[in-house]
Structure 1
Amino acid sequence: MFWILLAVIAVIVLATLVLFRVQNLSQYDGQSWRIHEVTPAPSHQEVLERIRDMGRSSKGLKGKARLMALRNHLDSLGATLDIKSQIRAVDCPKGEWVIAPGADSRRRVLYIHGGAWAAGSPRSHRAITDRFSQLANAAVFAVDYRLMPEHRFMEGLEDCRQAYRWLLENGPDGQQSAEFMVVAGDSAGGSHTLSLLAWIRDNGLRQADAAIALSPSTDLTLRAPSNRENIPTDPLLGPVFGGLSKIPLPILWWGTLAAFRISPTNPVASPLLGNLHNLPPTLIHASTSEMLLDNAARYAAKAQAADSPVTLHTWQNMVHVWHIFTPLLAEADQAFEDIKTFLDTLQKTDT
């Protein structure tokens, strides 16, 4: 019996080494990035209370009931917003246009929402898409991609790819070629954003003119230092995912493979692990206190080493994707101004 158990363990270890060929990315740690200093304000406490409300909305629930409660709570964030943009629903590809007054429909933003690939929607992220339409002077298409676990991870990503193809030739008023294209997303949607850029390059499509990733997930192998070190300082992701730090990484990788039906070392799911050469100008935002900080930093550093114009701007002690708390947080407004400056600079360079 002992020898059988030993043989099984050996097979599992060998399979892990063969299937999950992880790269040592520590050489991309330690680079200095622009930091926006933040002074504590009462609004920060209000944001923390809102995050606690999200936790309370699913307290005591399990499984599907817990997930549905979380989805409903996130959607409620966008239900009462006073937004300036016009909202137009689209059936195929599924999503919605968010169009600020006077926005140029030839300028387009594909927005991919976050929510751990299992929650979130165009409705939940209207605070962000409304601001994007204003600052980019563009029509924003928020894609309503298929979520896990009802659908496979790759099905959601395929929805994003289809939406990008469609946006190149279609605007809110019908068929019309895009003059300026941006791909943007947050958290899980930030991962889809960065993955999409590599797919566009590799498939010979017209590349986006710019990309923006807010607190993106870039590496599902979870080996970056902040994935564990920042658990106590991340009020949003820490309580939800912090417990995973007690599980050995190889076991987490097998669990990810089972849940996502794709290896966490596959660049489609972990864009940091792919080829980062010849990417468009990309701006990444992250908080110094969030678990995904080093995922973002490693991506930016590796992309720069591959001569791609990718940069990271960080804010002190902000919650994960603090942008969604506009206009409550002054730092959210600062972040949007930073995005506007980034896009405006690109256009001045082009002209």
Structure 2
Amino acid sequence: MGVAMTSRQKRWLVWGVSLVSAAGWLGGFSGNVVGQEANRRPGELPVEASPEGKVYLERLRKNTPFGTNDFDFNGLRAGMGSRRPPTVDGVQLKRVKVGEIPCEWVVAPGAATDVRVLYIHGGGFISGSGGFYLPLASHLSRMAKCAVLLVDYRLAPEHPFPAGLNDCVDVFEWMWDQGPEGVSRARATFVAGDSAGGNLTLATVLALRDRQKRLPLGAIPISPVTDFTLASDSLNSVADPIISSRTMPIFREHYLKDHSPRDPLASPVFADYRGIPPLLIQAGEHEMLRDDAVRVSQRIRETGGKVTLEVWKGMFHVFQSHDPLLPEGREAFDHIAQFVRELVPSR
């Protein structure tokens, strides 16, 4: 029997439903929060999905993945452009502008404001907003004891590659010397993001390295898009319950226009990772981008980088956003928090 949900967990339920409903992925879901925290380190994963995860996946599979029959551009933008309330009590929010780029600080109680994570939202490069990610960002701030900066980078097709990437690079550089309380030097910085934001996480770190700028201590790409040549086997072999592989050529067309899909800053699977800080990459077993995560991890190792790859059994695209409804979501967030904390230097 499941346990009763707290008010914070109920807000997370609304967030999870909103996430999938925004893209037409799921008409509705209700369930209880169950399961215990595991005591595993990053890279150490359960051998199979939890009972709750299996049930959740089956419920997702009863719905049609986004983009299967048509591509609702306006619906995707409207849904993922909406603003969701934080799911952590007492979180502090502060909107700022970096040049003309809208951003928002998210600081949970007890977070260190000199430990800063730039979080880059997903949305296929054509949708999404920082406001939509306030639940995830507030939870990340609480778990990792850090200040999270959400960036509203420019979106395609109005602003194709590399406009959004340049925005992320500019905001990251600004974050070194500007915190939630104003001018202050960061003790530690990180970059994280999911899906399209996972792509931009890798590209931001690569661009900083190439431009000889200050690098973060680490980066966390979640379910990243890494190959716009669309060569990964899982694009066709995996039945992703969240999003159809038919969407990928559409995202590519909007984002890249006529730009080469083999550019390492567009497709990080082709990059050289010498001199790049440690990476933690998470993906789900049942997502079309699984092999994008696997292949870029292989590339990172081959070219001299350090990476921890986690492919979670029975999980789906950006399953972390469904925490705390899933034991896997809670534990994945705990791994991210451990990764951040272990790299932060002492005062």
For the superposition of Structure 1 and Structure 2, which TM-score range results when normalised by the shorter chain?
0.7 to 0.9
Deviation at 1:280, TM superposition (A): 0.3
Alignment partners' CA distance in 2, 1:288 and 1:120: 24
Alignment partners' CA distance in 2, 1:315 and 1:178: 32
Change (3 A) 1:258 1:118: closer
Alignment of 1:6-45 (within 5 A): 35-36=45-46, 37-41=48-52, 44-45=55-56
Name the counterpart of 1:87: 93
TM, length-normalised to structure 2: 0.78
1:33-59 Cα deviation digits (max 9, x unpaired)? 75432123278438955994995xx99
- Which secondary structure does the structure 1 equivalent of 2:162 belong to? helix
Q: CA RMSD in A?
A: 3.0
Alignment partners' CA distance in 1, 2:84 and 2:64: 16
Larger Rg: 1
* Aligned with residue 131 of structure 2, among 104, 120, 123: 123
Name the counterpart of 2:306: 309
* Aligned with residue 75 of structure 2, among 69, 75, 88: 69
1:120-164 Cα deviation digits (max 9, x unpaired)? 111222222112211221111000011112222311111111101
Structure 1 unaligned blocks of 5 or more: 1-32, 245-251
Q: Are the aligned partners of 1:256 and 1:264 in contact in 2 as well (CA < 8 Å)?
A: no
Alignment partners' CA distance in 2, 1:305 and 1:214: 20
Change (3 A) 1:319 1:145: same
Alignment partners' CA distance in 2, 1:70 and 1:159: 22
Name the counterpart of 2:267: 270
Q: Identity, % of aligned pairs?
A: 35
Name the counterpart of 2:235: 227
Deviation at 1:110, TM superposition (A): 0.3
Q: Are the aligned partners of 1:44 and 1:329 in contact in 2 as well (CA < 8 Å)?
A: no
Name the counterpart of 1:299: 296
Name the counterpart of 2:332: 335
1:4-35 Cα deviation digits (max 9, x unpaired)? xxxxxxxxxxxxxxxxxxxxxxxxxxxxx754
Alignment partners' CA distance in 1, 2:328 and 2:199: 23
Alignment partners' CA distance in 1, 2:127 and 2:236: 23
Amino acid at match of 1:309: K
Deviation at 1:220, TM superposition (A): 0.6
Name the counterpart of 1:22: none
1:76-123 Cα deviation digits (max 9, x unpaired)? 5x5255333222112333111111112211110000001100111112
* Aligned with residue 109 of structure 2, among 101, 111, 129: 101
Q: Are the aligned partners of 1:95 and 1:122 in contact in 2 as well (CA < 8 Å)?
A: yes
Q: Are the aligned partners of 2:217 and 2:278 in contact in 1 as well (CA < 8 Å)?
A: yes
TM, length-normalised to structure 1: 0.77
Deviation at 1:185, TM superposition (A): 0.4
**Matching of residue 111 in structure 1 with residue 119 in structure 2:** yes
Name the counterpart of 2:280: 283
Aligned pairs, number: 301
Name the counterpart of 2:6: none
Amino acid at match of 1:89: R
1:210-257 Cα deviation digits (max 9, x unpaired)? 100110011111112112111x2x11122xx2477xxxxxxx69x738
- Which secondary structure does the structure 2 equivalent of 1:161 belong to? helix
Structure 2 unaligned blocks of 5 or more: 1-42
Alignment partners' CA distance in 1, 2:226 and 2:49: 25
Name the counterpart of 1:140: 148
Asked which structure has the greater RCO (Cα within 8 Å, sep 6+), the reply is 2
